[in-house]
A and B are shown apart, each in its own frame.
Chain A
């Protein structure tokens, strides 16, 4: 079945460092891919998405490119801020599974001043 694998955290960075969080997926067909962010004590917020191969999603300085050949959707940011500290979830959805979101286990990011 469909699944998402994320790098384990926590990831600890200094402010202004470069961020990469790896995400790979297994799916039949052509899923849409998402990154969600969860701040402490809150629900999930959509950060960015890509709906077809080679699409690049971007938002708030974060980017991820849908790579079908490597089944990956890695999250990157050139310069992280303390306010980016949160848990990041990679997810996919497709028509076969009635558009339910399938999430990875999450990666906690801690940015130090």
Chain B
């Protein structure tokens, strides 16, 4: 059974650019959640996708957007990058819209640096 994978591992972008991060969910999981973890902080919820629909969103501006594909993999897109977007971006896959009965499995993250 393959775990949650994310790509790329590291990324350096310039302020104002756009970036796409990718997440492959664990086999059989239909829910993907994205989190932003700034250095020294706890992860902050960005949004969740359940069966290809957005199923909840945190306090992030619209320039953070996402997609979930029929195979339940997901993308996180960030437009007009700002320096404060520098962080570790984590995705987590689970079942049933993230119901706590089911464990959320986290990927290793993508480290984004905005210069």
Chain A residues close to B by CB (< 8 Å): 4, 32, 34, 36, 41-46, 49, 51, 89, 91, 93, 97-106
The interface stretch among B40-48, B63-71, B73-81 is B40-48
* B106 CB–A CB distance under 8 Å: yes
Knowing A100-B58, A101-B33, say if A89 contacts B100 (CB, 8 Å): no
Chain B residues close to A by CB (< 8 Å): 4, 33, 35, 40-45, 48, 55-56, 58, 90, 92, 97-101, 103-109
Q: Is the CB of A98 within 8 A of B98?
A: yes
Q: Is the CB of A89 within 8 A of B104?
A: no
Greatest chain B CB density within 10 A among A34, A93, A99 is at A99
Q: Is the CB of A99 within 8 A of B97?
A: yes
Q: Give A46's nearest chain B residue, CB to CB.
A: B103
Q: Is the CB of A100 within 8 A of B42?
A: no
Indicate which residue in B33, B48, B90, B98 contacts A43 across the interface (CB closer than 8 Å): B90
Indicate which residue in A32, A100, A106 contacts B33 across the interface (CB closer than 8 Å): A100
Q: Is the CB of A100 within 8 A of B106?
A: no
B72 nearest CB across to chain A (Å): 16
Q: Is the CB of A105 within 8 A of B103?
A: no
Indicate which residue in B55, B106, B109 contacts A98 across the interface (CB closer than 8 Å): B55
Whole-angstrom CA separation of A51 from B109 in the bound complex:
27
Please indicate the chain B residues that have their CB under 8 angstroms from the CB of A44 in the complex.
Answer: 43, 90, 92, 106
Please indicate the chain A residues that have their CB under 8 angstroms from the CB of B45 in the complex.
Answer: 100-102
Q: Is the CB of A51 within 8 A of B43?
A: no
Q: Is the CB of B90 within 8 A of A100?
A: no
Q: Is the CB of B108 within 8 A of A43?
A: yes
Q: Give A42's nearest chain B residue, CB to CB.
A: B108
Q: Give A89's nearest chain B residue, CB to CB.
A: B42
B12 nearest CB across to chain A (Å): 18
Q: Is the CB of B43 within 8 A of A103?
A: yes
